[in-house]
Amino acid sequence: MRAAAGVPLVLGLCASGLVVALGSGHERPAPDADTYAVPAELADYSYVTGTVSSSPPGPAVALFQHGFGVELMDFPQAVVLGAGGDRYRRVDVAEARAGAETQGDPAPMLLSPDGRYVAVGDHDVGGDHPDVAVVDLTTGETTSYDLPQGRSVVPVAFSTDSGSLAMLLSDEPTSPYAGGRISGTVGVLDLGRGRTATMRVEDATAVAFSSTGSMAVEHVGSTGYGITVVDSTGTVEELTPDGVLAGPTAWSPDGSLLAITTVDPAGAPVGSGDPGTPDGLAFVDPSGTATDVPDPLPLPLSPPGRVLAWNGDDEVVMLLSDSSDTATLASVPLDGSEPRTLMRMDDLGSYGVGRFQLAADAGGRLEVVDPAGVDRGPWPWSWRLGGAVLAGLLVWLVAWMAVWVVSRARRRVAT
């Protein structure tokens, strides 16, 4: 019986070890270079997705926020989807840099065009040393770059070669829930040299780099939204489009067209920072070199209605809204033809998907896959340790009760 008394402890330790081993995960081989794929359906929300710092996924095809904190046990996560379409990892740096002003959401974050990096800012740096963090998804390492100014640092655009990063720098803390869009001074960080230059554009709200060296800076004023375009020679052109800049990937691949998100006005006062509800795309030709400017295109856009990538010069990839519970990543022809669904996102009413971004370089070579399984990497240590303790205690208790019952039965037989 003395030997039997030690059985519950041994079984409990074995159960704990099994949970730790299972939680360590099994990582899939990295995809080939320049491979970009999305699954036919985005994987469900999960508590046991590993982190980039502990298990780098390699280049990503997408970055998004999963969960809005509005459901029971819904904790907002920053998640990257690996370029092969089957790896999911949490960007722990973005979650760690979030403050009270984000109401539990990850800090402002931006995926580079090649999918290798995630830039992470901060709505309230809270000190005299503003910086921006750049996470390398291949190594899991984070590099911090000091900035000359900014109590708030919001990354808004990478250059097409991922070598420069544009940010909105504000002297006061900002909040994504204050109403309207965040504005500030544009700072452009040369990631190779670690140097930052600022642009003299008042109340900038968005930036887009072109492949030809041009830069479009959206700004808001008392008369509404405008766009300042600076080309590679320093020539400045002011645009007043009927809408807002369609995100950091607004330029067409050849740099001739600039995509504009048209909006249904919100009814707010002009200059309030609320452009309205996105309802389609329009295009402008700042340089006057385009051979054909597409007609405006009405679309059921999922806010904020950004162009995520270009499939050549005649098709864009965007997020469309089917209903309040479903959205689709779709390839949209600019001639008005029917969009082609690439990936579905369901159950958005429970665990919403927001701030969705795509690696812009995926344009024109984005594949759709049906992965046999999902690679979430090693469980976070808190889950592994907690699960091991719980499983060990449960198995120990059951085994102890079984030994106790058998022991009492034997005593009765003996007497």
> Average pLDDT, stretch 198-225?
88
Name residue 103's amino acid: Q
Return mean pLDDT, the chain.
85
Q: What is the pLDDT of residues 230-282, one digit of tens each?
A: 988 788 899 988 899 999 999 999 999 999 999 987 655 554 556 778 999 99
Please, which pLDDT band fits residue 89 given cuts at 50, 70 and 90? very high
Instruction: Please give the residue that has the higher pLDDT: either 116 or 232.
Output: 116
Percent of the chain having pLDDT more than 90? Answer: 57
pLDDT of residue 175: 86
- Is 171 among the domain residues? yes
Whether the CB-CB separation of 250 and 294 falls below 8 Å is answered with no
- Is position 16 within any domain? no
pLDDT for the residue 94: 96
Residue among 147, 139, 155, 176 at smallest CA distance from 55 = 139
20 in any annotated domain: no
Distance in angstroms (rounded) separating the CA atoms of residues 380 and 387 = 11
Residue indicated by tokens 């919001």:
154
* Interatomic CA distance for residues 320 and 160, integer angstroms: 24
302 falls within a domain: yes
pLDDT single digits (tens) 154-164: 999 999 999 99
Confidence at 197, pLDDT banded by 50, 70, 90: confident
What would the pLDDT profile of 307-322 be if each residue is shown by its tens digit? 999 999 899 999 999 7
The reported pLDDT for the residue numbered 177 is 82
244: in domain: yes
Q: How do 131-136 and 297-298 pair as beta strands? A: unpaired
- Longest Cα–Cα distance of the chain, Å, equals 103
Task: Please choose, from the candidates 187, 46, 168, 192, the residue with its C-alpha nearest in 3D space to the C-alpha of residue 117.
Answer: 192
DSSP letters of 205-258? EEEEE-TTS-EEEEEEETTEEEEEEE-TT--EEEE--SSEE--TT-B-TTS--E
Instruction: Tell whether 305 is covered by a domain.
Output: yes
Beta strands in 51-162 (DSSP E): 60-66, 77-82, 88-90, 109-111, 117-120, 131-136, 142-146, 152-158
Task: Tell me the backbone φ, ψ of residue 129, rounded to 5 degrees.
Answer: -125, 75
Q: For residue 59, give the CATH number of its domain.
A: 2.120.10.30
The Cβ of residue 212 has, within 10 Å, a number of other Cβ atoms equal to 15
Where do the H-state alpha helices sit in 343-415?
381-414
pLDDT tens-digit readout, 45-70: 999 999 999 999 999 999 999 988 76
- Expressed in angstroms, the distance from the first to the final Cα of the chain is 16
Residue at 3 is within a domain: no
Residue 125 burial (CB count, 10 A) = 19
> pTM for this structure?
0.85
**Domain total in the chain:** 1
pLDDT at 2: 53
Whether 85 is covered by a domain: the verdict is yes
**Predicted confidence (pLDDT) at residue 22 exceeds the cutoff of 70:** no
**Containing structural domain, residue 273:** 25-378
- Cα Rg of the chain, angstroms: 25
Top mean pLDDT of 74-88, 175-189, 277-291 is at: 74-88
- Mean pLDDT for 106-134 is 93
